[in-house]
């Protein structure tokens, strides 16, 4: 069970200790009102969304964009005609005037972009899931340690309306001993709404294929692999990396949770034959705080909806989160008979839990504010790391057909 004193310290102690001091010396001297010049690495659907959020943040300037697909560079150029474009992200990092970078490449590329960006002295907004595997996570940690760089991981819900309300309600006085957290992500859409058409110009003339592959197993150029990379284990952790990570990160921060002791996952692909990753799945995490964290998801029914439907369950009460609506129910009330809200399926770029436009804009503003103030952002490296490891453990369990454990000393899954 969660010890009351430790629980409260986890929620308040760390934040109070940091409140009065700057955490990260700047790459260059920035005054409170100085403009932050930023670049974007990865200009696909999600990259364009966070780029637009960054443009709305006060006193920022977009100066460069890098992507391996020329079509995407042209699309960003339409938004900011003066922007410098690169097919090699390292050329963007060479620009000493760039203060910060936003990284929104496919998941297998994150560490390959993040480590050079930190070494180049850039502050980083890193889209989730932060790290693709334990080796990438270790490399990212080594790069960050002692770097004095600001890192914000893209779990936007911790900057949203629901977070503070959930933290206010999820206290030992209200919940007692929390021994279970139930989370869901349900969508009624073939391929999870991820399937995209192949543009006619998606060919080797316009795509730097080897740069896209990075450290993944080599394949001949395949436009399906490039455009619909979320379908393939070489580049994606499926919906665990797309959406479970948001719900894990949210509750890990609300309750001060750590990397799980053990994780078991089952999953199958029943409806999406062109996709390697599962479309129906269930994850069970044994947390060191003596509680069980479960997440289940499917693409063939939307009863629970795709925007939360989370429950923190204690012996004194329950905290229920559905999108931005967070409520508390004492044990004297019974809520199970009320039907959970549904949500409609969405095609094209996949919806992401916590990716409400206002949350994303708030999360981006928080990042740029911290670039100026050198304070710790709302989703710092350690929260991104722990939520990424939890998701990596789930995928390892699924693919190895066994329960896996976390070896904290080796920083590896066993």
Asked if 139 and 185 sit in the same domain, the reply is no
Local structure of 306: helix, strand or coil:
coil
Are 178 and 299 part of one and the same domain? yes
Q: Which residue has the higher pLDDT, 246 or 26?
A: 246
The verdict on 374 and 299 lying in the same domain is no
pTM of the full structure:
0.88
Which has the minimum average pLDDT: 5-14, 187-196, 226-235, 298-307? 5-14
Claim to verify: residue 44 and residue 73 sit in the same structural domain: yes
Instruction: With respect to residue 12, please indicate whether it lies within any of the assigned structural domains.
Output: no
In a domain, 50, yes or no: yes
CA distance 128 to 151: 12
Q: State pLDDT tens for residues 88-98.
A: 999 999 999 99
Q: Give me the residue label for tokens 């103030």.
A: 373
Query: Could you tell me if 117 and 35 lie in one domain?
Result: yes
User: Do 312 and 291 touch, CB atoms closer than 8 A?
Assistant: no
CA 378, 62, 41, 381: dihedral to nearest 10 degrees? -20
Task: State how far the Cα of 380 lies from the Cα of 387, in Å rounded to an integer.
Answer: 11
Residues 377 and 319 placed together within one structural domain of the fold: no
- pLDDT tens digits for 352-377? 444 466 899 999 999 999 999 999 99
- In this structure, the answer to whether residues 363 and 341 fall within a common structural domain is no
Same domain, 248 and 364: no
CATH number for the domain that contains residue 240:
3.30.360.10
Average pLDDT across the chain, whole number:
90
- Residues spanned by the domain of 340: 161-195+230-354+385-413
Provide the number of structural domains found in the chain.
2
Same domain, 269 and 406: yes
- We report the CATH number of the domain holding residue 53 as 3.40.50.720
322: nearest Cα among 332, 312, 337, 331: 312
pLDDT tens digits for range 40-80 = 999 999 999 999 999 999 999 999 999 999 999 999 999 99
CB atoms inside a 10 Å sphere around CB 273: 8
Residue 32 lies in a domain: yes
Predicted pLDDT of residue 309: 79
**pLDDT at residue 183 tops 90:** yes
Nearest-angstrom CA–CA distance, 79 and 15: 38
Mean pLDDT calculated for residue range 126-155: 98
Q: Is the pLDDT of residue 350 over 80?
A: no
- Rounded Cα gap, residues 126 and 103, in angstroms: 5
Q: Measured between alpha carbons, how far is 188 from 243 in angstroms, rounded to an integer?
A: 15
190 and 325 share one domain: yes
Sequence-distant (6+) residues with CB within 8 A of 211 are 68, 87, 88
Q: Three-state secondary structure along 132-162?
A: CCHHHHHHHHHHHCCCCCCEEECCHHHHCHH
pLDDT at residue number 23: 61
> Is the same domain home to 146 and 249?
no
Both tokens of 339, joined, read: 């039907």
The predicted structure's pLDDT at residue 9: 42
Is 299 contained in some domain?
yes
Residue 369 and residue 389 share a domain: no
In a domain, 81, yes or no: yes
Q: Is the peptide bond before 129 cis (omega within 30 degrees of 0)?
A: yes
Is the distance from CB of 76 to CB of 40 less than 8 angstroms? yes
Nearest to 79 by CA among 106, 105, 40: 40
């Amino acid at each position: 069970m969660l010890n009351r004193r430790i629980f409260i310290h986890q929620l308040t102690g760390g934040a109070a200790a940091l409140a009065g001091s700057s955490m990260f010396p700047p790459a260059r001297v920035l005054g409170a009102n100085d403009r932050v010049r930023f670049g974007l690495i990865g200009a696909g659907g999600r990259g364009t969304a966070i780029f637009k959020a960054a443009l709305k943040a006060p006193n920022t300037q977009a100066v460069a964009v890098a992507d391996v697909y020329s079509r995407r560079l042209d699309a960003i150029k339409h938004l900011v005609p003066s922007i410098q474009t690169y097919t090699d992200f390292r050329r963007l990092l060479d620009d000493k005037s760039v203060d910060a970078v936003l990284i929104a490449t496919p998941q297998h590329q994150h560490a390959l972009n993040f480590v050079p960006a930190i070494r180049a002295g850039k502050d980083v907004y890193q889209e989730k899931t932060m790290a693709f595997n334990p080796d990438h996570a270790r490399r990212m940690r080594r790069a960050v340690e002692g770097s004095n760089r600001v890192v914000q991981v893209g779990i936007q819900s911790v900057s949203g309306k629901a977070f503070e309300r959930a933290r206010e309600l999820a206290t030992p006085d209200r919940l007692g001993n929390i021994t279970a957290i139930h989370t869901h992500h349900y969508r009624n859409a073939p391929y999870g709404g991820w399937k995209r058409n192949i543009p006619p110009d998606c060919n080797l003339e316009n795509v730097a294929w080897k740069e896209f592959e990075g450290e993944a197993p080599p394949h001949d150029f395949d436009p399906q692999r490039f455009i619909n990379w979320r379908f393939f284990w070489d580049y994606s952790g499926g919906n665990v990396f797309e959406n479970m990570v948001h719900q894990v990160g949210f509750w890990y921060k609300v309750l001060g949770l750590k990397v799980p002791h053990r994780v078991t996952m089952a999953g199958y692909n029943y409806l999406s034959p062109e996709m390697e990753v599962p479309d129906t799945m269930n994850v069970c995490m044994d947390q060191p705080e003596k509680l069980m964290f479960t997440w289940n998801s499917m693409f063939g029914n939307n009863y629970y909806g795709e925007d939360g439907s989370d429950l923190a369950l204690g012996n004194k009460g329950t905290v229920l989160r559905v999108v931005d609506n967070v409520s508390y129910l004492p044990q004297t009330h019974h809520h199970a008979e009320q039907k959970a809200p549904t949500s409609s399926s969405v095609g094209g770029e996949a919806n992401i839990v916590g990716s409400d436009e206002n949350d994303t804009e708030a999360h981006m503003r928080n990042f740029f504010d911290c670039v100026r103030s050198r304070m710790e952002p709302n989703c710092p490296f350690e929260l991104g790391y722990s939520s990424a490891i939890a998701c990596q453990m789930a995928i390892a369990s699924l693919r190895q057909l066994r329960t896996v454990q976390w070896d904290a000393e080796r920083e590896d899954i066993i």
